[in-house]
Amino acid sequence: MDKYKLLLVDDEEEVIQVIMKKICWEELGFSVVGYANNGVKAFEMVEEFQPDVVMTDIKMPFMDGMELSNRLKKEFPTIKILFFTGFDEFEYAKEAIHLEAEDYILKPVNSVELTNVFTQLKMKLDQEIAEKRNVEILQQYYMESLPLLQINFYTSLIEGKIHEDEISKYLSDYQISFSGPFFCCLVIHTSSSRIPKDMNPLLLSASVEKQAKERLVEKWQAKCFSYLGNTILIPQLKNENEVSKLTDDCDKFCKYANSIIGAVVTIGIGRVCESILELPQSYTGAREAVSYRVIYGPSKAINMEEIVPREINKSGLTNDSELSGIFKMIRLGSVQEVIKAVDKYLNHTLFPDKSLSQHNIDVMELISTLYQFSINNDIASEDFSGDIKALYSSLLELEPDALRRWLIDICLSFREKLISVRNRSAQSFIDSAKEYVHNHYTEEELSLDSICKVLGVSNSYFSTLFKKKTGHSFVTYLTDYRMEQSSRLLIETNEKSYIIAKHVGYTDPNYFSYVFKRKFGVSPSKYREGHAESEK
């Protein structure tokens, strides 16, 4: 390695020359970078040469060795300091120890003693450098491992394995910032069955994740990681209402991914929460939202809070996976899939050999969970409208086949009623939107954005729902309604076209005429003339 740099300081140049000639500095591993005859000059040279060691006399003009050492310890704390002086006084020695000097050597300087001092000093410097390099290696290793540590933290977070009292330490140690103040979970699911020709599914998912990082992560200050084959994002929101804008951005991303790289992507969006400790619930909701692609279609964002009925994500399911599977099929599956889920539950839970008391407990749990599901999803059921205790007693007396038929019947009933509830809720949205158009079509600002803001939903969800229920887009409906009103006004009044245009929400009469002609095939004036002639 390079030699350690040494600066000599003494107001007697002869002493300096003796020290330089008496010792073979190169063999000891040191290089004398210069010398100074007072503390002021020495301090300037320290700033210039950055020596590793300063060997200084104590008594000097302008600035003595003690003052020089004090300043060096404050501004260059890593420099090693050696004192050599002819003043064999205890007070000086005590001060030298206080300043953490490496040694205190009396003049005249003995070459053997000085060699021993610098031999020991080199060993100390070598050890410190080795330790420092070890620390730097560990620090480098830690920084290289940091992304993996952060991903492990995010994974544990959405799994609900992080305790509240551990949060601050993890955030500090892993250099993670969660400024919020609101958060939610996104699950980005890339279809592995619908992929471009000759494309590897893993490469396609990796490409989707890369695009998500570029288009969503920075804008939403999101944490991004892979988990169970999906890309997970934890965006940070300024307020709860921003989730509608987030949903629209996610919907645009799904369409972008499909058009640019041919990926069929569905993004599930969980509920907004105020604490990162609530993210496990948001993640569960986001995963469930992805499942709704069988109803709403892929290549779109599905916000769990927008899915009707609104309480569906609070169904209070038990931890039993088979029972949870029944409810999933009630929401999303076909009749046969519901029956299959019921059989799986019965074969794994109710029908295996067990004590009578355990069987009774399982039946009680089944009734309780079914009842909770019906309440939370606004499903009226005759089975739960009467005496629950009587229902419980009757079920306990049923033979396995009869119990199976009862459970299948009630699950299929729930399925039909849930479809009906979902349709009613969806129709309610559509009816509200149409009513709003009828009352506000004269306003130029009325648009898809404004109606979604009024209804409190994202553009993507409302557009999908509106087109599914009406067969055409909201913008088409709004334009058609305005045209119907304008055609009526042209026939029933003598107002000029530009007045009628303004009355139905168009400030530009030329654009109004263009839209009118596209709808009716003639200009507003020709339309009025044609109706006037037909009445003669």
- Residue-level length of the chain: 536
Which one, of 484, 508, 490, lies nearest residue 498 by Cα? 508
Other beta carbons within 10 Å of 283: 23
Angle between helices 448-455 and 459-470 (to 10 degrees): 100
Q: Reduced to 3 states, what is the DSSP secondary structure of residue 79?
A: coil
Token pair 């539950």 is found at 345
Helix (H) or strand (E) holding 502: helix 497-503
- Cross-strand bridge partners of residue 82: 55, 103
Structural domains in the chain, CATH included, are 4-131 (3.40.50.2300), 177-307 (3.30.70.270), 314-421 (no CATH), 441-534 (1.10.10.60)
Sign of CA dihedral 381, 386, 388, 394: negative
Question: Which of these, 46, 122, 119, lies nearest to 77 by C-alpha position?
Answer: 46
The DSSP bridge partners found for residue 301 are 267
In angstroms, the CA 264 to CA 189 distance is 8
pLDDT value, residue 374: 83
The whole-number pLDDT of residue 313 equals 41
- pTM for the structure as a whole: 0.55
- The structure tokens listed for 431 are 């009816």
Q: Which helix (H) or strand (E) element contains residue 84?
A: strand 80-85
- By CB neighbour count within 10 A (0-12 exposed, 13-18 middle, 19+ buried), where does 510 fall? exposed
* Structural Rg of the chain based on CA atoms: 40
pLDDT of residue 310: 43
Q: So what's the pLDDT on residue 365?
A: 85
Q: Which residues partner with 54 through β-bridges?
A: 7, 81
Taking the chain (536 residues) in runs of 10, the rounded mean pLDDT of each run is 85 85 87 89 90 88 85 88 70 58 73 87 86 72 81 93 91 90 96 86 92 94 94 95 93 93 94 94 92 82 74 42 81 89 83 68 85 81 74 81 89 87 80 91 91 86 87 92 93 92 93 92 90 65
410 Cβ contact partners less than 8 Å away, ≥ 6 residues apart: 370, 381, 383
